[in-house]
């Protein structure tokens, strides 16, 4: 594959590019969605022995979803691990005691350029309200799960499924 041309066709919350490629003598056109990269974490309260997830409305799903804590790497020069610590504090009100990287992955590499840094975080001290940031128009509620409830839940969000399966694989071995 050889990229011959890239044109920005939309530049809003996300950027969309029309990309012209050459492949085995054929010219192909593809649209590519280019968002900011993201971070996410499965958060475990070591005092209460429960997982802290969040519930918020998601436009593409047209309903609230329960997910692990997540956010965009959108502050200049901020590293992904700094971003997720900030997001955990903003969304849950908890300070992070321990942060462990799980994996970095592309969410939908066929047309979507987002990369997610996934973490496991332990918390024990709540120092803030949580609920998100008003200036970002976030309306976030925290939801807690025991390990049993977490492993039985039917999550619809991919990053949450990946994190829960990772945690379940640790618990079984």
pLDDT tens per residue across span 126-163: 998 887 777 777 789 999 999 999 999 999 999 999 99
CA–CA dist 64, 30 (Å, integer): 31
Annotated binding-site residues read 70, 87, 91, 138
* Whole-number pLDDT of residue 105: 95
- Enter the tokens of residue 158: 């991919």
Q: What pTM was estimated for this model as a whole?
A: 0.90
- Enter the tokens of residue 167: 């945690």
173 has pLDDT over 70: no
Cβ 3 vs Cβ 20: under 8 Å: yes
Confidence of residue 111 (pLDDT cuts 50, 70, 90): confident
Higher pLDDT, residue 156 or 111: 156
Measured torsion, CA atoms of residues 13, 56, 71, 33, in degrees rounded to the nearest 10? -40
89 has pLDDT over 90: yes
CA–CA dist 121, 123 (Å, integer): 7
CA 15 to chain centroid, in Å, comes to 18
Annotated binding-site residues for Mg(2+) read 70, 87, 91, 138
Query: pLDDT tens digits for 7-58?
Result: 999 999 889 999 999 999 999 999 999 989 999 999 999 999 999 999 999 9
Query: pLDDT tens digits for 50-86?
Result: 999 999 999 889 999 999 999 999 888 999 999 999 9
172 has pLDDT over 80: no
Beta partners for 74? none
Q: Which residues are designated catalytic? A: 136
């Amino acid at each position: 594959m050889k990229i011959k041309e890239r044109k920005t066709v939309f530049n809003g919350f996300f950027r969309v590019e029309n990309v012209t490629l050459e492949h085995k003598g054929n010219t192909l056109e593809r649209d590519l969605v280019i968002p900011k990269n993201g971070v996410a974490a499965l958060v475990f309260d070591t005092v209460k022995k429960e997982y802290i997830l969040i519930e918020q409305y998601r436009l593409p799903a047209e309903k609230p979803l329960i997910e692990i804590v997540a956010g965009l790497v959108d502050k200049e020069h901020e590293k992904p691990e700094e971003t997720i610590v900030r997001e955990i504090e903003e969304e849950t009100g908890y300070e992070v005691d321990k942060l462990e990287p799980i994996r970095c992955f592309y969410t939908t590499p066929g047309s979507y350029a987002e990369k997610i840094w996934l973490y496991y975080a332990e918390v024990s001290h709540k120092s803030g309200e949580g609920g998100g940031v008003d200036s970002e128009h976030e309306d976030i509620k925290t939801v807690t799960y025991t390990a049993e409830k977490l492993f039985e839940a039917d999550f619809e969000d991919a990053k949450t499924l990946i994190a829960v399966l990772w945690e379940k694989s640790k618990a079984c071995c």
